[in-house]
Homo-oligomer: A and B are copies of this chain.
Protein backbone atom coordinates (compact mmCIF):
# COMPACT_ATOMS: atom_id res chain seq x y z
CA UNK A 1 0.00 0.00 0.00
CA UNK A 2 1.39 3.40 -0.86
CA UNK A 3 1.93 6.22 1.63
CA UNK A 4 -1.04 8.28 0.56
CA UNK A 5 -3.45 5.35 0.55
CA UNK A 6 -2.36 4.48 4.06
CA UNK A 7 -2.85 8.07 5.17
CA UNK A 8 -6.39 8.22 3.80
CA UNK A 9 -7.36 4.88 5.32
CA UNK A 10 -6.66 6.45 8.70
CA UNK A 11 -8.62 9.54 7.76
CA UNK A 12 -12.06 7.94 7.94
CA UNK A 13 -15.05 10.25 8.07
CA UNK A 14 -17.80 7.63 7.99
CA UNK A 15 -18.79 8.17 11.63
CA UNK A 16 -18.01 11.90 11.69
CA UNK A 17 -20.95 14.07 12.70
CA UNK A 18 -23.08 15.00 9.70
CA UNK A 19 -21.85 12.15 7.51
CA UNK A 20 -24.27 9.54 8.80
CA UNK A 21 -26.22 9.62 5.55
CA UNK A 22 -23.22 8.13 3.74
CA UNK A 23 -22.95 5.12 6.05
CA UNK A 24 -23.47 1.76 4.46
CA UNK A 25 -26.32 0.35 6.49
CA UNK A 26 -27.63 -2.44 4.34
CA UNK A 27 -25.61 -4.99 6.30
CA UNK A 28 -27.52 -4.19 9.49
CA UNK A 29 -30.45 -6.39 10.26
CA UNK A 30 -32.03 -4.76 13.28
CA UNK A 31 -33.96 -7.22 15.41
CA UNK A 32 -36.45 -4.72 16.84
CA UNK A 33 -39.44 -2.74 15.69
CA UNK A 34 -38.96 0.89 14.78
CA UNK A 35 -39.65 3.26 17.64
CA UNK A 36 -41.75 6.14 16.38
CA UNK A 37 -40.94 9.77 17.18
CA UNK A 38 -39.73 13.04 15.73
CA UNK A 39 -36.21 12.45 14.32
CA UNK A 40 -33.46 14.28 16.15
CA UNK A 41 -29.95 14.75 14.81
CA UNK A 42 -27.80 15.15 17.91
CA UNK A 43 -24.62 15.13 15.78
CA UNK A 44 -24.79 18.94 15.61
CA UNK A 45 -26.96 21.77 16.91
CA UNK A 46 -30.31 22.50 15.29
CA UNK A 47 -30.10 26.02 13.84
CA UNK A 48 -33.84 25.94 13.21
CA UNK A 49 -34.54 25.45 16.92
CA UNK A 50 -31.89 27.99 17.91
CA UNK A 51 -31.65 30.50 15.11
CA UNK A 52 -28.66 32.56 13.97
CA UNK A 53 -27.87 35.93 15.58
CA UNK A 54 -30.59 38.43 14.56
CA UNK A 55 -29.29 40.64 11.76
CA UNK A 56 -26.69 38.15 10.53
CA UNK A 57 -28.27 37.83 7.08
CA UNK A 58 -28.60 41.63 6.84
CA UNK A 59 -24.87 41.94 7.58
CA UNK A 60 -24.15 39.46 4.79
CA UNK A 61 -26.31 41.38 2.31
CA UNK A 62 -24.54 44.62 3.26
CA UNK A 63 -21.26 42.83 2.58
CA UNK A 64 -22.44 41.87 -0.89
CA UNK A 65 -23.43 45.47 -1.56
CA UNK A 66 -19.92 46.62 -0.64
CA UNK A 67 -18.84 44.75 -3.77
CA UNK A 68 -15.24 44.02 -4.71
CA UNK A 69 -13.79 45.48 -1.53
CA UNK A 70 -15.61 42.83 0.50
CA UNK A 71 -15.24 40.01 -2.03
CA UNK A 72 -11.44 40.31 -2.23
CA UNK A 73 -10.07 40.88 1.26
CA UNK A 74 -6.54 40.11 2.35
CA UNK A 75 -6.14 36.38 2.86
CA UNK A 76 -6.25 36.91 6.64
CA UNK A 77 -9.58 38.75 6.27
CA UNK A 78 -10.75 42.33 5.85
CA UNK A 79 -8.92 44.84 8.03
CA UNK A 80 -12.06 46.70 9.15
CA UNK A 81 -13.59 43.43 10.35
CA UNK A 82 -10.39 42.31 12.05
CA UNK A 83 -10.22 45.66 13.85
CA UNK A 84 -13.68 45.42 15.35
CA UNK A 85 -13.22 41.76 16.17
CA UNK A 86 -9.82 42.20 17.81
CA UNK A 87 -11.33 44.72 20.17
CA UNK A 88 -14.24 42.46 21.13
CA UNK A 89 -12.06 39.37 21.52
CA UNK A 90 -9.50 41.28 23.58
CA UNK A 91 -12.32 42.39 25.87
CA UNK A 92 -13.72 38.89 26.12
CA UNK A 93 -10.41 37.14 26.80
CA UNK A 94 -8.85 39.95 28.81
CA UNK A 95 -5.75 40.26 26.66
CA UNK A 96 -4.46 42.59 23.94
CA UNK A 97 -4.78 41.77 20.24
CA UNK A 98 -3.25 43.76 17.39
CA UNK A 99 -5.72 43.45 14.49
CA UNK A 100 -2.96 43.77 11.92
CA UNK A 101 -0.65 41.10 13.32
CA UNK A 102 -2.54 38.79 15.67
CA UNK A 103 -5.77 37.77 13.94
CA UNK A 104 -6.83 35.65 10.99
CA UNK A 105 -10.36 34.92 9.78
CA UNK A 106 -10.92 31.39 8.53
CA UNK A 107 -13.64 29.20 6.99
CA UNK A 108 -15.07 27.97 10.28
CA UNK A 109 -13.08 27.04 13.37
CA UNK A 110 -12.23 23.84 11.51
CA UNK A 111 -10.34 26.04 9.06
CA UNK A 112 -8.49 27.74 11.91
CA UNK A 113 -7.60 24.42 13.46
CA UNK A 114 -6.29 23.01 10.19
CA UNK A 115 -4.17 26.09 9.49
CA UNK A 116 -2.82 26.23 13.03
CA UNK A 117 -1.84 22.56 12.95
CA UNK A 118 -0.43 22.80 9.42
CA UNK A 119 1.67 25.74 10.56
CA UNK A 120 3.16 23.87 13.50
CA UNK A 121 3.36 20.13 12.90
CA UNK A 122 6.23 18.77 10.81
CA UNK A 123 6.77 15.16 9.90
CA UNK A 124 7.73 13.11 12.94
CA UNK A 125 6.80 15.77 15.51
CA UNK A 126 5.27 14.51 18.72
CA UNK A 127 1.98 16.24 19.48
CA UNK A 128 0.06 15.88 22.73
CA UNK A 129 -3.71 15.69 22.46
CA UNK A 130 -6.34 14.97 25.07
CA UNK A 131 -8.50 11.84 25.22
CA UNK A 132 -11.38 12.40 24.86
CA UNK A 133 -11.23 15.50 22.69
CA UNK A 134 -12.52 16.78 19.35
CA UNK A 135 -12.34 13.96 16.84
CA UNK A 136 -10.40 15.95 14.23
CA UNK A 137 -7.46 16.59 16.56
CA UNK A 138 -6.03 13.10 16.15
CA UNK A 139 -6.71 13.11 12.41
CA UNK A 140 -4.91 16.42 11.96
CA UNK A 141 -1.79 15.16 13.72
CA UNK A 142 -1.82 12.05 11.56
CA UNK A 143 -2.45 13.95 8.34
CA UNK A 144 0.61 16.11 8.97
CA UNK A 145 2.67 12.97 9.73
CA UNK A 146 3.03 13.82 13.40
CA UNK A 147 2.98 11.33 16.25
CA UNK A 148 0.02 11.41 18.66
CA UNK A 149 0.92 11.44 22.34
CA UNK A 150 -2.36 11.04 24.24
CA UNK A 151 -3.00 12.66 27.61
CA UNK A 152 -5.99 11.37 29.56
CA UNK A 153 -8.84 13.47 30.83
CA UNK A 154 -10.28 11.70 33.86
CA UNK A 155 -13.53 13.63 33.70
CA UNK A 156 -15.42 11.46 36.17
CA UNK A 157 -12.76 11.94 38.86
CA UNK A 158 -13.95 15.29 40.19
CA UNK A 159 -16.29 18.13 39.38
CA UNK A 160 -13.97 20.94 40.43
CA UNK A 161 -11.68 20.63 37.41
CA UNK A 162 -11.69 19.03 33.97
CA UNK A 163 -9.55 16.17 35.26
CA UNK A 164 -6.51 16.44 33.00
CA UNK A 165 -3.72 14.06 34.00
CA UNK A 166 -1.05 16.72 34.41
CA UNK A 167 1.71 14.24 35.13
CA UNK A 168 0.98 12.64 31.76
CA UNK A 169 1.22 16.06 30.14
CA UNK A 170 4.59 16.69 31.77
CA UNK A 171 5.77 13.22 30.71
CA UNK A 172 4.70 14.10 27.17
CA UNK A 173 6.71 17.32 27.19
CA UNK A 174 9.67 15.45 28.65
CA UNK A 175 9.45 12.92 25.84
CA UNK A 176 9.90 15.72 23.30
CA UNK A 177 6.37 16.99 22.63
CA UNK A 178 6.52 20.59 21.39
CA UNK A 179 2.81 21.12 20.74
CA UNK A 180 -0.24 20.63 22.92
CA UNK A 181 -3.70 20.91 21.40
CA UNK A 182 -6.87 20.88 23.45
CA UNK A 183 -10.43 22.20 23.53
CA UNK A 184 -11.79 24.20 26.46
CA UNK A 185 -14.62 23.63 27.24
CA UNK A 186 -13.74 20.07 26.39
CA UNK A 187 -15.45 18.51 23.41
CA UNK A 188 -17.18 15.98 23.90
CA UNK A 189 -17.70 16.19 27.69
CA UNK A 190 -18.54 19.88 28.10
CA UNK A 191 -16.30 20.27 31.13
CA UNK A 192 -14.26 23.40 31.82
CA UNK A 193 -10.59 23.38 32.78
CA UNK A 194 -10.10 24.97 36.19
CA UNK A 195 -7.92 28.04 36.65
CA UNK A 196 -5.33 25.81 38.33
CA UNK A 197 -5.31 23.42 35.38
CA UNK A 198 -4.90 26.24 32.85
CA UNK A 199 -2.06 27.72 34.89
CA UNK A 200 -0.37 24.34 35.14
CA UNK A 201 -0.71 23.82 31.39
CA UNK A 202 0.74 27.28 30.73
CA UNK A 203 3.57 26.72 33.19
CA UNK A 204 4.53 23.35 31.74
CA UNK A 205 4.36 24.61 28.16
CA UNK A 206 6.59 27.55 29.08
CA UNK A 207 9.02 25.32 30.95
CA UNK A 208 9.42 23.01 27.96
CA UNK A 209 9.21 25.74 25.27
CA UNK A 210 6.08 24.18 23.79
CA UNK A 211 3.32 25.77 21.72
CA UNK A 212 -0.32 25.48 22.78
CA UNK A 213 -3.32 25.61 20.47
CA UNK A 214 -6.55 26.00 22.41
CA UNK A 215 -9.93 25.57 20.79
CA UNK A 216 -12.39 27.73 22.75
CA UNK A 217 -15.32 27.28 20.42
CA UNK A 218 -17.93 27.02 23.16
CA UNK A 219 -16.39 29.41 25.68
CA UNK A 220 -19.25 31.91 25.64
CA UNK A 221 -21.90 29.42 26.69
CA UNK A 222 -21.01 28.98 30.36
CA UNK A 223 -23.57 27.55 32.78
CA UNK A 224 -24.21 28.66 36.36
CA UNK A 225 -21.78 31.57 35.99
CA UNK A 226 -18.76 29.33 36.36
CA UNK A 227 -15.26 30.73 36.13
CA UNK A 228 -13.65 30.33 32.72
CA UNK A 229 -9.90 30.92 32.32
CA UNK A 230 -8.47 32.06 29.00
CA UNK A 231 -5.03 30.51 28.52
CA UNK A 232 -3.96 33.45 26.33
CA UNK A 233 -4.44 35.84 29.25
CA UNK A 234 -2.15 33.88 31.57
CA UNK A 235 1.22 35.52 31.97
CA UNK A 236 2.99 32.24 32.62
CA UNK A 237 3.43 31.52 28.93
CA UNK A 238 5.11 33.37 26.06
CA UNK A 239 2.23 34.76 24.01
CA UNK A 240 4.09 33.94 20.79
CA UNK A 241 3.57 30.28 21.71
CA UNK A 242 -0.23 30.43 21.98
CA UNK A 243 -2.99 30.33 19.38
CA UNK A 244 -6.61 30.64 20.48
CA UNK A 245 -9.41 29.53 18.19
CA UNK A 246 -13.02 30.67 18.40
CA UNK A 247 -16.01 31.08 16.11
CA UNK A 248 -19.72 31.79 15.93
CA UNK A 249 -20.84 28.40 14.58
CA UNK A 250 -22.17 26.90 17.80
CA UNK A 251 -23.85 29.04 20.45
CA UNK A 252 -24.52 31.73 17.83
CA UNK A 253 -25.79 29.24 15.19
CA UNK A 254 -23.82 30.80 12.31
CA UNK A 255 -22.35 27.51 11.08
CA UNK A 256 -23.91 27.92 7.63
CA UNK A 257 -21.69 30.96 7.07
CA UNK A 258 -18.44 29.02 7.78
CA UNK A 259 -16.63 31.54 9.96
CA UNK A 260 -13.87 31.12 12.47
CA UNK A 261 -11.06 33.15 13.92
CA UNK A 262 -7.63 32.42 15.32
CA UNK A 263 -5.67 34.93 17.33
CA UNK A 264 -2.35 35.08 19.14
CA UNK A 265 1.23 34.46 18.02
CA UNK A 266 2.24 36.82 15.21
CA UNK A 267 4.62 34.26 13.76
CA UNK A 268 1.96 31.58 13.63
CA UNK A 269 -0.73 33.88 12.23
CA UNK A 270 1.71 34.79 9.44
CA UNK A 271 2.25 31.14 8.62
CA UNK A 272 -1.47 30.44 8.79
CA UNK A 273 -2.11 33.17 6.26
CA UNK A 274 0.52 31.76 3.90
CA UNK A 275 -1.12 28.37 4.22
CA UNK A 276 -4.62 29.78 3.76
CA UNK A 277 -3.35 31.27 0.47
CA UNK A 278 -3.09 27.74 -0.94
CA UNK A 279 -5.93 26.10 1.03
CA UNK A 280 -8.93 28.32 0.28
CA UNK A 281 -7.56 31.87 -0.20
CA UNK A 282 -9.76 33.40 2.50
CA UNK A 283 -12.94 32.99 4.51
CA UNK A 284 -15.79 33.83 2.13
CA UNK A 285 -15.49 37.59 1.53
CA UNK A 286 -19.16 38.44 1.97
CA UNK A 287 -19.42 35.95 4.83
CA UNK A 288 -16.76 37.84 6.77
CA UNK A 289 -19.17 40.77 7.06
CA UNK A 290 -21.42 38.59 9.25
CA UNK A 291 -18.77 38.71 11.98
CA UNK A 292 -19.93 42.27 12.66
CA UNK A 293 -22.91 40.77 14.50
CA UNK A 294 -20.77 38.51 16.69
CA UNK A 295 -20.27 39.77 20.26
CA UNK A 296 -22.79 42.46 19.30
CA UNK A 297 -25.93 40.42 19.82
CA UNK A 298 -29.09 42.17 21.03
CA UNK A 299 -29.21 42.81 24.79
CA UNK A 300 -30.27 39.72 26.68
CA UNK A 301 -30.04 37.44 23.63
CA UNK A 302 -27.01 35.48 24.87
CA UNK A 303 -28.38 35.20 28.42
CA UNK A 304 -31.66 33.77 27.08
CA UNK A 305 -29.83 31.32 24.88
CA UNK A 306 -27.67 30.07 27.75
CA UNK A 307 -30.72 29.73 30.00
CA UNK A 308 -32.62 27.70 27.39
CA UNK A 309 -29.68 25.37 26.90
CA UNK A 310 -29.17 24.93 30.61
CA UNK A 311 -32.81 23.87 30.93
CA UNK A 312 -32.38 21.23 28.21
CA UNK A 313 -29.21 20.01 29.85
CA UNK A 314 -30.94 19.67 33.21
CA UNK A 315 -33.73 17.51 31.77
CA UNK A 316 -31.38 15.29 29.78
CA UNK A 317 -28.96 14.81 32.64
CA UNK A 318 -31.84 13.80 34.90
CA UNK A 319 -33.13 11.31 32.30
CA UNK A 320 -29.70 9.81 31.73
CA UNK A 321 -28.91 9.48 35.42
CA UNK A 322 -32.22 7.76 36.03
CA UNK A 323 -31.50 5.13 33.38
CA UNK A 324 -29.98 1.90 34.66
CA UNK A 325 -26.28 1.57 34.04
CA UNK A 326 -25.86 5.06 32.51
CA UNK A 327 -23.41 7.62 33.80
CA UNK A 328 -22.87 11.24 32.77
CA UNK A 329 -21.05 14.31 33.99
CA UNK A 330 -23.18 17.42 33.61
CA UNK A 331 -22.12 19.92 30.95
CA UNK A 332 -20.46 23.02 32.40
CA UNK A 333 -20.23 24.92 29.12
CA UNK A 334 -21.40 24.38 25.57
CA UNK A 335 -24.03 21.97 24.29
CA UNK A 336 -22.38 18.56 24.54
CA UNK A 337 -23.09 15.60 26.77
CA UNK A 338 -20.99 12.43 26.66
CA UNK A 339 -22.96 9.72 28.45
CA UNK A 340 -21.49 6.35 29.27
CA UNK A 341 -23.85 3.46 28.65
CA UNK A 342 -24.01 -0.07 30.04
CA UNK A 343 -22.37 -2.94 28.20
CA UNK A 344 -24.34 -4.01 25.13
CA UNK A 345 -24.37 -7.08 22.94
CA UNK A 346 -23.22 -4.89 20.04
CA UNK A 347 -20.39 -2.43 19.45
CA UNK A 348 -20.85 1.31 19.92
CA UNK A 349 -20.72 1.87 16.15
CA UNK A 350 -23.40 -0.76 15.57
CA UNK A 351 -25.47 0.78 18.36
CA UNK A 352 -25.21 4.22 16.75
CA UNK A 353 -26.34 2.89 13.37
CA UNK A 354 -29.19 0.91 14.92
CA UNK A 355 -30.29 3.93 16.95
CA UNK A 356 -30.54 6.03 13.83
CA UNK A 357 -32.38 3.41 11.78
CA UNK A 358 -34.72 2.20 14.51
CA UNK A 359 -35.39 5.32 16.52
CA UNK A 360 -34.52 8.24 14.22
CA UNK A 361 -31.89 9.50 16.65
CA UNK A 362 -28.43 10.42 15.43
CA UNK A 363 -25.54 10.53 17.91
CA UNK A 364 -21.76 10.38 17.49
CA UNK A 365 -20.00 7.21 18.72
CA UNK A 366 -17.43 7.67 21.49
CA UNK A 367 -14.61 6.09 19.53
CA UNK A 368 -14.47 9.24 17.38
CA UNK A 369 -13.05 10.98 20.46
CA UNK A 370 -10.55 8.35 21.52
CA UNK A 371 -10.22 4.59 20.98
CA UNK A 372 -11.15 3.74 24.59
CA UNK A 373 -14.59 5.36 24.52
CA UNK A 374 -16.48 2.43 23.08
CA UNK A 375 -18.94 2.74 25.97
CA UNK A 376 -19.93 6.36 25.33
CA UNK A 377 -21.58 8.59 22.74
CA UNK A 378 -21.78 12.34 22.24
CA UNK A 379 -24.85 14.45 21.73
CA UNK A 380 -25.24 18.13 20.92
CA UNK A 381 -28.35 19.12 22.85
CA UNK A 382 -28.86 22.44 21.09
CA UNK A 383 -32.20 21.09 19.85
CA UNK A 384 -35.87 21.69 20.27
CA UNK A 385 -36.30 21.03 24.01
CA UNK A 386 -39.24 18.65 23.81
CA UNK A 387 -37.86 16.77 20.82
CA UNK A 388 -34.55 16.29 22.62
CA UNK A 389 -36.20 14.86 25.72
CA UNK A 390 -38.32 12.48 23.65
CA UNK A 391 -35.32 11.39 21.63
CA UNK A 392 -33.35 10.66 24.79
CA UNK A 393 -36.18 8.40 25.94
CA UNK A 394 -35.81 6.46 22.73
CA UNK A 395 -32.03 6.25 23.22
CA UNK A 396 -32.63 4.67 26.60
CA UNK A 397 -35.14 2.23 25.11
CA UNK A 398 -32.71 1.16 22.40
CA UNK A 399 -29.91 0.68 24.93
CA UNK A 400 -32.26 -1.45 26.99
CA UNK A 401 -33.13 -3.53 23.93
CA UNK A 402 -29.49 -4.21 23.07
CA UNK A 403 -28.25 -5.01 26.53
CA UNK A 404 -28.22 -8.65 25.70
CA UNK A 405 -29.08 -8.73 22.04
CA UNK A 406 -26.79 -8.68 19.07
CA UNK A 407 -27.19 -7.74 15.41
CA UNK A 408 -27.04 -10.57 12.89
Contacts and interface: CB of A to CB of B under 8 A. Distances in A.
A302 to B, nearest CB: 20
Contacts of A277: 11, 13, 16, 19, 136, 139
Most buried by B among A7, A140, A271, A281: A281
A8 B274 contact: yes
A13 B75 contact: yes
Interface stretch (A106-114, A168-176, A338-346): A106-114
A47 B19 contact: no
Nearest to A271: B8
Interface stretch (A118-126, A156-164, A371-379): A118-126
Nearest to A57: B64
A52 B68 CA distance: 10
A273 B14 CA distance: 10
Nearest to A272: B8
A3 to B, nearest CB: 4
A67 interface: yes
Nearest to A277: B13
Contact of A48 (B61, B67, B120, B121): B67
Contacts of A108: 280-281
Contact of A122 (B3, B16, B75, B274): B3
A42 interface: no
Contacts of A48: 67-68
A346 to B, nearest CB: 25
A57 to B, nearest CB: 5
A264 interface: no
Interface string A53-77: 0000100110110011011111100
20 contacts: A4-B121, A4-B125, A7-B122, A8-B271, A11-B275, A13-B75, A13-B274, A16-B75, A18-B74, A48-B67, A48-B68, A60-B60, A72-B256, A107-B107, A110-B280, A111-B279, A139-B278, A143-B278, A256-B285, A258-B280
